[in-house]
């Protein structure tokens, strides 16, 4: 559901009932729900909260430092960009901010506190084609996680061009590599 630290913190606050997301913004926050078979009016916070509360492990992919915000609500990046085939009037690129290293550090500290005694694993985005800006963010994320003693899985070291459909999406072989790497990391660090 989330792509950056702000969205994850918002998600937890939402399912815990600490914040509400206005109906007119739900499509821009819960994009996948609106793309699938689920009725967006049936987002069951109680089920999501139960799933979260019963989880021993939190595996969180942080793949972007771009933060999209409207009226204090953090939005899914594809719901505010042309990649989601939205009209020009729905674009919110003016509301895009790039998260600084300092704010990333603060958010990761908050996430670590939020998950408490759950086992936290931060996973990077893939970078099979060696995009410089993406790698810089992955390196910053890894450094911050190391400084905060948060387990980190750097997928840019594992996923190669032959494992992907494009720069952002995995083939089945890529999914298998990521799945095994997550299992191995959790097993090696938490058991």
Q: How far apart are the first and last CA of the chain?
A: 27
pLDDT value, residue 109: 98
Would residue 133 be called left, alpha or beta, if left means φ above 0 and alpha means ψ between -120 and 50 degrees? alpha
**Contact present, 140 and 79 (Cβ < 8 Å):** no
Range with top average pLDDT, 33-47, 61-75, 82-96 = 61-75
Helix (H, G, I), strand (E, B) or coil at 123: strand
Determine the Cα–Cα distance for residues 12 and 79; give it in Å rounded to an integer: 20
65: tokens are 């430092």
pLDDT value, residue 67: 92
pLDDT value, residue 2: 84
pLDDT value, residue 47: 87
Residue 189, pLDDT > 50, answer yes
pLDDT value, residue 120: 97
Phi, psi of 76 (to 5 degrees): -65, 130
Positive or negative: CA dihedral 28, 30, 36, 38: negative
Strand 57-62 relative to strand 66-70: parallel, antiparallel, unpaired?
Answer: unpaired
Helix (H, G, I), strand (E, B) or coil at 177: helix
Please state, for a pLDDT cut of 70, what percent of the chain lies above it: 86
pLDDT value, residue 28: 85
Determine the Cα–Cα distance for residues 42 and 37; give it in Å rounded to an integer: 11
How distant, in Å, are the alpha carbons of 32, 36, 104 from that of 87?
18, 20, 31
Spell out where 131-171 has E strands: 151-153, 164-166, 169-170
**Contact present, 72 and 20 (Cβ < 8 Å):** no
User: Model's pTM, two decimal places?
Assistant: 0.87
42: tokens are 């049936």
To the nearest 5 percent, what fractions of the chain are helix, strand and coil? 55, 15, 30
> Which residues are CB-neighbours of 43 under 8 A, at least 6 positions away?
26, 30, 33
Q: What is the pLDDT of residues 76-85, one digit of tens each?
A: 887 776 444 4
Q: Lowest mean pLDDT: which of 29-33, 57-61, 166-170?
A: 29-33
Q: What is the pLDDT of residues 86-124, one digit of tens each?
A: 444 444 456 788 999 999 999 999 999 999 999 999 999
């Amino acid at each position: 559901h989330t792509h950056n630290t702000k969205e994850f913190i918002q998600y937890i606050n939402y399912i815990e009932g600490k914040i509400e997301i206005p109906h007119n913004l739900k499509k821009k926050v819960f994009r996948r729900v609106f793309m699938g078979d689920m009725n967006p009016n049936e987002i069951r916070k109680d089920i999501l909260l139960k799933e979260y509360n019963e989880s021993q492990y939190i595996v969180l992919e942080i793949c972007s430092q771009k933060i999209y915000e409207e009226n204090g609500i953090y939005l899914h990046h594809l719901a505010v960009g042309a990649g989601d085939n939205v009209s020009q009037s729905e674009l919110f690129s003016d509301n895009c901010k790039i998260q600084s290293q300092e704010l990333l550090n603060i958010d990761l500290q908050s996430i670590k506190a939020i998950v408490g005694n759950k086992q936290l694993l931060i996973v990077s985005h893939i970078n099979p084609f060696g995009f410089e800006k993406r790698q810089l963010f992955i390196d910053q994320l890894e450094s911050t996680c190391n400084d905060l003693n948060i387990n980190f899985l750097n997928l840019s070291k594992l996923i190669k061009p032959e494992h992907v459909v494009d720069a952002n999406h995995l083939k089945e072989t890529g999914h298998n590599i990521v799945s095994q790497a997550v299992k191995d990391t959790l097993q090696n660090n938490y058991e």
